[in-house]
Structure 1
Amino acid sequence: MPDTDDTAAACERTARDVLGLAELRPGQLTAMTALAEGRDALVVMPTGGGKSAIYQVPALLLEGPTLVVSPLLALQRDQVEALRERDEDAVRLDAGTAAGRRAAAFDSLRAGRTEFLFCAPEQLANPDVLAELAAARPSLMVVDEAHCVSAWGHDFRPDYLRLGAAAEALGRPVIAALTATAAPPVRAEIAERLGLREPLEVVQGFDRPNIRLEVRRMLDDPADELVAAVAAERGPGIVYTAVRRQTTRLSGLLAERGVRAAAYHAGMRRAERDEVHGRFMDGGLDVVVATSAFGMGIDKPDVRFVHHAQTPGSPDAYYQEIGRAGRDGEPAAAVLFYRPEDLGLQRFFTGGAPDEETLARVAEAVAGCRPGTTRKELGERTGLSARRLTKLLDLLERAGSVRLGARRIDPVPGAPDPREAAGIARELAERRRDVERTRLEMMRRYAETDDCRRRFLLGYFGEELAEPCGNCDTCRAGTAERREAAPGPFPLHARVEHRSWGAGQVIQRAEDRLTVLFEEAGYRELQLDAVLAEDLLKELPS
């Protein structure tokens, strides 16, 4: 076993001499040291907090190349350029890479001349790419935006579901999973899906005290008040809306007020989206009015506000989106224009589960497959899109009907009958939907609380804030109070068990109530008197 102090010292030297980092931020050295010693790490750190250094330093200390998986092509380009400026050999592969350049990149990787290879997750679905990478024997696999692997996550991407199997196919290198925002259930699912082995978990910096939090309760369409608020703001900003048509409507209303505004949503052509993104980053636009499609990779430090025209589906999504404001540390604002009726729209988005007939059809197709059938072959057989098929296969794998590899799909010996597997998978999907709705309920509670809003959000992510923040509307109104650790049973972070909802953890605790995140039932608020009177909970050993 390597000496941890020696490894930490080597990481500090490399960070200083190669990356020019005279001082490391909290959590960086701990994560670097773990990775350099061959231990998996799950790192939750805000954008701009130094996540790239966390993998680049151990990559230079480990034998073998480093694979970086990221969904953001622009960020891949930026990181490759930054590495090359330091004379590190780095390459990037995407669907448009010419065959000759691709072959040269793999030759260089195998020969040890290239240290870093960047690719999107869908590249690892290509058996030829996976075989070439396996031949290079990578020592470190970095999964950026790791929350995309979690169906709890706000940016869930089915391509990420294959990454755990891909890591095994690559010889199981050390894995670094990186993300900016992940609540406890998201972190747990990241570790499970990627197959992390006793990972070091580093969670840093959920609090963004420079962002002023505010909720404006609306009885009618908030458009007029929102447009007036945005027109009065100084500096660039983002307005999020839940539906595409509102991006065009609100950006048009802002333009009428003299604001340089543009719409952005997933239904636009890639070239149009890239143009809006580029103009905003370069200062050619004041405001982008967008759906959640305007998300990862928006690292513009001087965004002064992020406002929401409708309530997002979870605190996870909300905190990720408002976290795009004030990254320069200067004052910024996040205003939620809240109408209770808008919660119905989010319930619609989370509603529904795949029908049993479709699940049974896929399960029957899998049962009739020869071992090693590819996803493409199964897609042709079932007539389903790759995205939908991936989601259904994930459910069927959890139901014990199929074993998914990075390259192949195998039926499971002794698997449940296709109809039975479909029923189990449907039940799993319904349970997931019900949990999603408890997260929406947490968003409603955020909007309606008279306590410190920052304390509410930080509590959701597992952090405590005793003093009111002083920078939210409830604090300014004087309704938020200092909160001492509540005495009595079921303290914060205690492991508990409910007789109906199973095991969970206390994530918020007040004198008269507690909020528990149950593994199977999601977020539930319980009145302490009822818990004690009816003996609803028992505390588990930690």
Structure 2
Amino acid sequence: MPTRTSGDGSASGDGSGGVRDRCERAARRLLGLDELRPGQLDAMTSLAEGRDTLVVMPTGSGKSAVYQVPALVLPGPTLIVSPLIALQRDQVEALRRQRHDEKATSVDASTPAGRRAATFEALRAGETEFLFCAPEQLARPDVVRELAEAGISLMVVDEAHCVSAWGHDFRPDYLRLGAAAEAIGRPVIAALTATAAPPVREEIVERLGMRDPLQIVRGFDRPNITLSVRRELSDPADALVAAVLEQPSPGIVYTATRRRTTELAGRLAEAGLRAEAYHAGLRRAERDAAHGRFMAGELDVVVATSAFGMGIDKPDVRYVFHSEIPGSLDAYYQEIGRAGRDGDPAEALLFYRPEDLALQRFFTGALPDAETLEQVARAVADAGGGKGKGGVERKVLCERVGLSARRLTTLLDLLQRSGAVCLEARRVTPVAGGPGPAEAAARARELAERHREIERTRHEMMRRYAETLDCRRRFLLAYFGEDLGEPCGHCDTCRAGTAREPARGEGPFPVHAQVEHATWGPGEVIRRDEDRLTVLFEEAGYRELLLETVVDQRILRETGSR
């Protein structure tokens, strides 16, 4: 179940005043931050005291400062794992402009061998404080070896939701990071993200191997963004173009497919707007050029798949529209959060057709077949002689089973969770006394089936958001574990007068109550309306239950409160 997160300004709590004061002084002296935002100092203090820390804060709320200050307090250099090379370079330049002398640099696949060697030499010599790299770099034995020798004191995982298979931008390369942290000497871990629902936060902690982490969750509410949904009976292209023309520029339109980006960008260009398409199928140079023009104010609108937006911090985006329903509220919140970062009014409009949900269910993907899982488990077991020793290099294993590194990483993660294999930065070893290949494959398949069922509940929550007549902002915040209390007053349902006041008075199963279901197991109430409950179950995902049925048939047992 989701653990209790910090929301009251307390960090470690025991004699941390000295460290806290040092962090506050360092923030003022080195970064010029005279006033810290809520949660920043708690996170800084926690990390500076050597405690793993998960920070969930909106983009623009100062997550970079959260790691920069303790990095300068802790001895030893800092490693920042970031998913986008362009974002890494932006962060390096920003650090170099700061008023301290510590050097920041990055390494990626295009870094020449000579410069790479010089970078790691400077890191070992203490001449470089901040090193940025993509998660793929930590699959390289030479990089892991260099980082271990450098004595990394703080490992920062940016966009940490990418660690989670629950997350809206799951990347298997992130699954290696827990093993990589151990291989480089297990520094303090800081996990940063702008959005993570409770199950995503728990999976981040588990997969990174975080130890008793402080969780700081702040500021999901973005009251300057107006939330609206338009239900459509046919293709909403005409309505979307008309709606875009009514908005001030710039803006972003998200679509579900690459073909749709080109189609809508063409329609918007014909209407007189400076519009371009963006998706992962374009050449890198084309994507970079579109990104650069958008950031420079040379485009009115970008029509994009979910490939566009991570790491973009353009403050004046006035709207984010969706031409189809996204697969989850996690993805939706992340994408609409790119609007209105300057604090001025912005619009988030979703065009909704129920049939579009079928496309999102398709994107959930097929289950891995048991035969392939057993083949991988057997190859690992054979390499270890069946005794849990030795193991096999990941690259060699790819060749033996004939799978891509990306696909293999996903299957190995399932097999590790089934108790059959142990994943290290470079090698995979069988677990002594673990299940045999056939049993491991069956367990892994069961885990995958459970995950797919949970994904379906996330699709259902997205559908409920699109169809609710209640306050949309309350619904969205409840999904992330925050209780707004009152209707917001300015989403489309509030303006239409359909939003209801929240349930009042004493009653069973309040928000954050811990409950137990005979079939679905333990869970937590995340929303309580007059006639129904929404419960997040550990093993069954999000479920909506009629309160009368719950009470009359006693299908839930309250076990405590968070």
Using the size of structure 1 for normalisation, the TM-score is 0.98
Q: 1:137 aligns with which of 148, 151, 167?
A: 151
Structural mapping, 1:84-483, within 5 Å = 84-85=96-97, 86=99, 87-370=101-384, 371-483=390-502
Q: Distance in 2 between matches of 1:315 and 1:69?
A: 25
- Residue 414 of structure 1 deviates from its aligned partner by 2.4
Structure 2 CA distance for aligned equivalents of residues 142 and 132 of structure 1: 17
- 2:8 is the alignment partner of 1:8: no
Code of the residue aligned with 2:337 in structure 1: it is G
- Is the contact between residue 347 and residue 437 of structure 1 (CA under 8 Å) also seen in structure 2? yes
2:103 touches 2:128 (CA, 8 Å); kept in 1?
Answer: yes
User: 2:505, 2:78 → 1: CA distance?
Assistant: 47
- Mean Cα displacement is larger for which, 320-329 or 356-365? 356-365
Give the partner amino acid of 2:466.
A
Deviation track 1:178-235 (CA, whole Å, cap 9, x = no partner) reads 0000000000000011111111111111000011111000000111111111122111
Of 84, 95, 112, 1:83 maps to: 95
User: How far apart, in 2, do the equivalents of 1:80 and 1:497 lie?
Assistant: 48
Give the aligned partner of residue 35 of structure 2. Answer: 23
Deviation of residue 497 (structure 1)? 0.6
> Would the aligned equivalents of 2:520 and 2:540 in 1 still touch at CA under 8 Å?
yes
Tell me, in whole angstroms, the C-alpha distance in 2 between the residues paired with 1:58 and 1:49.
Answer: 17
C-alpha deviation, 1:100, in angstroms: 1.1
Deviation of 1:361 (Å): 1.4
Shift in Å, 1:469: 1.0
Give 3-state SS (helix, strand or coil) of 1:263's partner. strand
* CA deviation map 1:452-497 (0-9, x unaligned): 1001000100111122112211011011133255521111001111
Maintained 8 Å contact 2:102/2:127: no
Structure 2: which 5+ runs fail to align? 1-11, 385-389
What amino acid sits opposite 2:502 in the alignment?
R
Query: Is the deviation greater in 204-213 or in 76-85?
Result: 76-85
Q: Provide the rounded CA distance (Å) in 2 between the counterparts of 1:98 and 1:258.
A: 44
The superposition leaves residues 132-185 of structure 1 with CA deviations (integer Å, 9 ceiling, x where unpaired) of: 100111111101000000000001111111111111111111111000000000
Q: Distance in 1 between matches of 2:393 and 2:295?
A: 41
**Most deviating of 83-92 and 291-300:** 83-92
| Alpha-carbon distance between aligned partners in 2 of 1:418 and 1:3, rounded to the nearest angstrom | 50
> Using the alignment, how far apart are the partners of 2:15 and 2:128 within structure 1?
28
Q: Distance in 1 between matches of 2:242 and 2:442?
A: 51
Q: Which residue of structure 2 lines up, in the alignment, with residue 56 of structure 1?
A: 68
Q: Is the 8 A contact 1:494 1:506 kept in 2?
A: yes
**AA partner of residue 118 (structure 1):** F
Alignment-derived partner of residue 534 in structure 1 = 553
1:70, distance to aligned residue in structure 2 (A): 0.5
Note if contact 1:148-1:155 (Cα within 8 Å) is conserved in structure 2: yes
Distance in 2 (alpha carbons) for counterparts of 1:52 and 1:296: 15
Cα deviation for residue 351 of structure 1 reads 4.2
3-state DSSP of counterpart to 1:368: helix
CA contact (8 A) 1:486 1:511 kept: no
Equivalent residue number for residue 387 of structure 2: none
Task: Quote the offset at 1:284 in angstroms.
Answer: 1.3
Deviations 1:103-135 (A, max 9, x none): 111111111111111111110110111011001
Q: Does 1:38 align with 2:57?
A: no
What's the CA shift for 1:333?
Answer: 0.3
Asked if 2 retains the 8 angstrom alpha-carbon contact of 1:359 and 1:422, the reply is: yes
C-alpha distance in structure 2 between counterparts of 1:40 and 1:363, whole Å: 32
Q: CA deviation at 1:366?
A: 1.3
Deviates more, 1:218-227 or 1:345-354: 345-354
Compute the RMSD of aligned alpha carbons.
1.2
Matched, 1:516 2:535: yes
Q: Is the 8 A contact 1:352 1:430 kept in 2?
A: no
| C-alpha separation in 2, matches of 1:83 and 1:486 | 51
Divergent runs of 4+, >6 A: none
Distance in 1 (CA, whole Å) between partners of 2:205 and 2:47 is: 15
Q: 2: CA distance between counterparts of 1:179 and 1:290? A: 22
**SS state of the match for residue 544, structure 2?**
strand
Structure 2-normalised TM-score?
0.95
- For residues 395-429 of structure 1, the C-alpha deviation after alignment (integer angstroms, 9 at most, x for no partner) is 11111221101111101222322122111111110
Cα deviations by residue, 1:475-521 (Å, 9 ceiling, x for unpaired):
11011133255521111001111000001100001121110000000
Pick closer, same or farther for the CA change 1:275–1:486 going to 2, 3 Å: farther
Distance 2:489 2:551 in 1: 34
The AA in structure 1 aligned to 2:395 is K
SS class of match (2:347): strand
Percent identical pairs in the alignment equals 73
Q: How many residues align?
A: 542
The answer for unaligned runs of 5 or more in structure 1 is none
Question: Counterpart amino acid of 2:27?
Answer: A
CA distance in 2, matches of 1:365, 1:214: 52
**How far apart in 1 are the matches of 2:128 and 2:508?**
56
Give, in whole Å, the separation in 2 of the partners of 1:302 and 1:274. Answer: 20
Contact 1:486 1:509 in 2 (8 A): no
Distance 1:56 1:350 in 2: 37
For residue 155 of structure 2, give the secondary structure of its aligned residue in structure 1: strand
- Aligned equivalents of 2:360, 2:291: Cα separation in 1: 26
Instruction: Determine the C-alpha separation between the residues in 2 that align with 1:486 and 1:232.
Output: 43
SS in 2 for 1:390: helix
C-alpha distance in 2 between matches for 1:512 and 1:15: 48
Paired letter, 2:451: R
2:505, 2:285 → 1: CA distance? 54
